[in-house]
């Protein structure tokens, strides 16, 4: 992810520019008055679109952008954050999987996939930190594992439907 560039604009305020992955550019100009301009440019040659927000409006929009009001898939965000920070991965147990109802030891997860399950997040919101081999696996569980990419792929196969 590219860094945000900060530029001082004498007599006006500061500009923060974020180059977008699509090749465009998003910029926020913070005026000394607190007003914020939002600039968007599709590519280098296009003329930018711009809108001026008052301080209060800008805060409202900022809250929406951070997901303070509504976030459709919180788990995706959680996954991304986990994988980036710690090397932890998450795998969701699908309802039709052969693993539903069986326990971790019985499935021999570590030997078959190379994954080490460090926590289980249940569908009802409860969690099982550091589960023992006897802990049963239920449908829609989220398994938090330490594993390499190959291990995760194997585990995803194991908890997939129809096996």
**Any residues with CB less than 8 A from the CB of 107 and at least 6 apart, and which?**
99, 137, 158
How many residues sit in the footprint of other proteins (CB under 8 A)? 17
| 46 near other proteins (CB under 8 A) | no
Q: How far is the CB of 2 from other proteins (least distance, A)?
A: 16
Stretch of 36-44, 60-68, 144-152, 153-161 lying at the interface with other proteins (CB under 8 A): 36-44
| 2 near other proteins (CB under 8 A) | no
In the numeric block, which tokens belong to residue 104?
């971790």
Q: Helix, strand, or coil here: 109?
A: helix
Give 47 or 124: the residue with its C-beta nearer to other proteins. Answer: 47
**Any residues with CB less than 8 A from the CB of 119 and at least 6 apart, and which?**
127, 128, 129, 130, 131, 143, 144
Q: Cβ(113)–Cβ(158) under 8 Å?
A: yes
| 50 near other proteins (CB under 8 A) | yes
Interaction site with other proteins (CB under 8 A): 7-12, 15, 17, 25, 27, 29, 31, 37, 39, 41, 48, 50
């Amino acid at each position: 992810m590219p860094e945000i560039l900060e530029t001082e604009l004498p007599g006006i305020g500061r500009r923060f520019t974020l180059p977008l992955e699509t090749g465009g550019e998003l910029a926020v100009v913070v005026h000394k008055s607190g007003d914020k301009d939002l600039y968007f440019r599709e590519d280098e040659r296009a003329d930018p679109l711009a809108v001026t927000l008052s301080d209060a409006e800008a805060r409202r929009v900022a809250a929406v952008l951070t997901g303070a009001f509504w976030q459709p898939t919180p788990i995706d965000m959680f996954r991304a954050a986990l994988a980036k920070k710690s090397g932890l991965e998450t795998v969701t147990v699908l309802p039709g999987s052969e693993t539903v109802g069986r326990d971790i030891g019985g499935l021999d997860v570590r030997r078959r996939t190379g994954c080490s399950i460090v926590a289980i997040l249940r569908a009802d919101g409860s969690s099982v930190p550091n589960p023992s081999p006897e802990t049963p696996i239920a449908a829609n569980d989220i398994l938090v594992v330490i594993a390499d990419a190959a291990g995760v792929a194997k585990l995803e196969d194991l908890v997939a439907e129809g096996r």
